[in-house]
Structure 1
């Protein structure tokens, strides 16, 4: 019966959609899980004993008593872990952030080049990312990321006090993590049409905050006793998820990865073509061989200038640059800020910082829901950015009034800062990558995603670097810098 075929097929599609939604959610959450430990461990790498010797001495004695059953590393300084125990520790910690994020930005630019160039240099600079099926490409990146995340933690167990060891680990990890975002966004874009894209991707993009929360909790559990495990355990998690990716990821709606759907159930296709929700998926499966790597070259790649000419790509890219600058400054520096202002130890500061990401979950979902209702992505971003700037000022003032006020402001700030960031990197990227002017070019989605995220990554690298340079003059100046960046993002969004 045609109606039965349609019902069965809709059920199968729904099940596979739910599976891919969940799998890609967990895959990218594990990437963010591995990025978070450095921000938690900062409070342990430097303990501020010079600023408060009597308090620091007590805390160090407590620390030494805690770690004695596990291990007592060879590190004579009571101010933290050499070389981060010196007075220039903020610049050194900022260098670690910048090393990771700058490498990530360069890697994303190379990935962009590989998506839009078919020549020899595109293959070299793109690290053959475009020549491999997404499943293999993403698996290799996750295994390598697990290795380099754990490598940073091994510095604790082997008493490594050379700054370059940690910088190299960060640079290598930043490069291999560029395999993640374009891959998972392409997969989720292949499986979901535009119908409820804002809400669906708003929920899906909460993987960023979920990963940050899990990374914070895992890192905080060991930070005061054995901070090396704060990196080793997330590294193992990422590697395991890489194996799961290899075994189960389906790049697009192709059962078995070779044969198009219509060849298997020919009588169902005419019926499904009448369903607008299925139009997007049917278009993709007509070139279903992309799951094996052939289809990705079967359609000519969009040029870089061609991608920039898509209405909104340049504006949203610049908007994301400033939005990501603010978000990643919080990602890498919030626990240390809480440690300094609230005078909490590294573990408690790490646990408290997760509230910012809890607010980010609600902010991303709310942004997607509002943008679907209004059908205006730019207006939604502008509205949240307009509210975010004064909220940041309030956060800098209220956070000094006590723990309860800090909790409230963390939730509100997280929602308003991460809402626009989440919307641009998911629903907006997918909308622009499937713009009607592209006439169904499947590779355009990866190209546009890489361009927007690559531009945003420049801001992500600048934010923590500027925070490390500015914070010695006072945390208030860091918040002024964040408010200026938020205002710039708002001005750009008004032009869209």
Structure 2
């Protein structure tokens, strides 16, 4: 009777090994889960404001808000103030990204992240819960707390991308970081669900629950998150695949020195992707901040109904981040994937601008729009940024990933901040159709910014192919020459000569 032999190399993580091209230790799981959930919690607290905007507007324009009457005379004035809050948040967020990107390459990322989560939870608690509980309605206090929250939350993304880039190699970045970059969309969904299920109690409880979860999770980050492999004993790490060892043989075994801020700007592709992300993030954050308000005020659906419907946009972004990221791992460059998705995004935006007032149609079209807008945004801010921060010019010589992430995401936040300043005014004077047409223009500008990168990559590929052909021809000519020499040596000599 033949014996059945079982493979010895089948293990619970063999699936992830085949998908990502590297073996996962328990530290890889810790890093993935804790960075994913920590940024999701940060985004959930950020999303809470956009989901309760109608309730805030009603409170601020109510006659019982203060003894002297409402703090805003009309709903339009309150909506414009919310636009100012979003703009101030993003400006502070952008400034903070440039600063925190540098700090992430100079100080311990784990401690920076835990401190930022704790401080952000306190700001959100004061902004949304304490002001309503003690009936402190002051535009100045609201502005100070939310802008401060924007600056503090900027520590999250560059530090976490840096930690992920330290643990996962180039061959795994598209699939792993594509899936990981969906943390922002998951955070949006968490924040939306918290608001939709607690809104009947009062909008202040949405802020209370979101900031409480963020504060609790900050302790897990502080005690369980290793920043890089060199913080862990090499005996606890699995051996890497042979191909990855050959590719990453120059990777440092200890933390390299940080790169300068100006030098990081001059790395290949950083300026182009920074400008592109500024245009794209304007659109992505336009949906992030104003989609629930559009569904409520523009399509006249109940607030909780609009909040749950808006999650389909984030679902599309999650699917795109995973699928497009994994697909780009098998290509020479991720830029063509992003470029094609941007062209499709213009079509999806035009169709959604003329969508009928149907829940099913809106859910489907939001899923498609999120796929082609949120997908490229997630790729640029995660896997592409990690590639730029770990380029060949820096391998093993400098720590640049956190700084590059801060530059690209910070420039994107500047564009997003400008967008939130104009969206309420454009909607008021020209309607929601004009807002969506403006989004289409910004998507085209994003694709235009990536054209120089596409041209350079195409030129480099042609040069590489020509060098390969020349090398092949030279090797063939050398072989032919050696064959001729051997033939002459084999010929009989003529003694009469």
Quickly name the TM-score band, shorter chain normalised.
0.7 to 0.9
Q: Does 1:110 align with 2:96?
A: no
Conserved in 2, the CA contact under 8 Å of 1:99 and 1:171? yes
Conserved in 2, the CA contact under 8 Å of 1:182 and 1:446? yes
Aligned position for 2:117: 142
Aligned position for 1:449: 405
Among 49, 55, 58, the alignment partner of 1:44 is 55
SS at structure 2 position matched to 1:36: helix
Q: TM-score, normalised by structure 1?
A: 0.81
Quote the Cα distance in structure 1 between the aligned partners of 2:276 and 2:73.
34
Conserved in 2, the CA contact under 8 Å of 1:202 and 1:368? yes
Aligned position for 1:99: 88
Aligned position for 1:22: 33
Quote the Cα distance in structure 2 between the aligned partners of 1:135 and 1:305.
25
Deviations 1:315-339 (A, max 9, x none): 1111111111100010000000000
Aligned position for 2:493: none
Among 243, 251, 261, the alignment partner of 1:276 is 243
Deviations 1:243-283 (A, max 9, x none): 111111100114xx3x752xx58xx99xx588232467775
Conserved in 1, the CA contact under 8 Å of 2:106 and 2:258? no
Aligned position for 1:413: 369
Q: CA deviation at 1:301?
A: 2.6
Q: Which moved more, 1:369-378 or 1:213-222?
A: 369-378
User: Aligned Cα RMSD in Å?
Assistant: 2.9
**Unaligned regions of 5+ residues in structure 1, if any?**
51-59, 61-72, 116-125, 288-294
Quote the Cα distance in structure 1 between the aligned partners of 2:427 and 2:59.
14
Aligned position for 1:367: 324
Q: CA deviation at 1:370?
A: 2.5
Q: CA deviation at 1:132?
A: 3.2
Aligned position for 1:75: 65
Q: CA deviation at 1:201?
A: 0.9
Q: CA deviation at 1:45?
A: 2.0
Q: CA deviation at 1:76?
A: 7.5
Q: TM-score, normalised by structure 2?
A: 0.81
Conserved in 2, the CA contact under 8 Å of 1:359 and 1:414? yes
Aligned position for 1:119: none
Q: Does 1:318 align with 2:275?
A: yes
Matches within 5 A, 1:171-320: 171-254=147-230, 257=231, 261=234, 272=239, 275-278=242-245, 286-287=253-254, 295=255, 299-320=256-277
CA distance 1:133–1:304, change in 2 (3 Å): closer
Quote the Cα distance in structure 1 between the aligned partners of 2:315 and 2:72.
33
Quote the Cα distance in structure 2 between the aligned partners of 1:108 and 1:180.
9
CA distance 1:318–1:84, change in 2 (3 Å): farther
**Unaligned regions of 5+ residues in structure 2, if any?**
1-7, 454-497
Quote the Cα distance in structure 1 between the aligned partners of 2:71 and 2:169.
52
Quote the Cα distance in structure 1 between the aligned partners of 2:270 and 2:60.
48
Which of the pair has more CA radius of gyration? 2
Aligned position for 2:295: 338
Among 459, 469, 482, the alignment partner of 2:425 is 469
CA distance 1:274–1:397, change in 2 (3 Å): closer
Aligned position for 1:329: 286
Count of matched residue pairs: 435
Conserved in 2, the CA contact under 8 Å of 1:382 and 1:493? yes
Q: CA deviation at 1:455?
A: 1.0
Q: CA deviation at 1:150?
A: 1.1
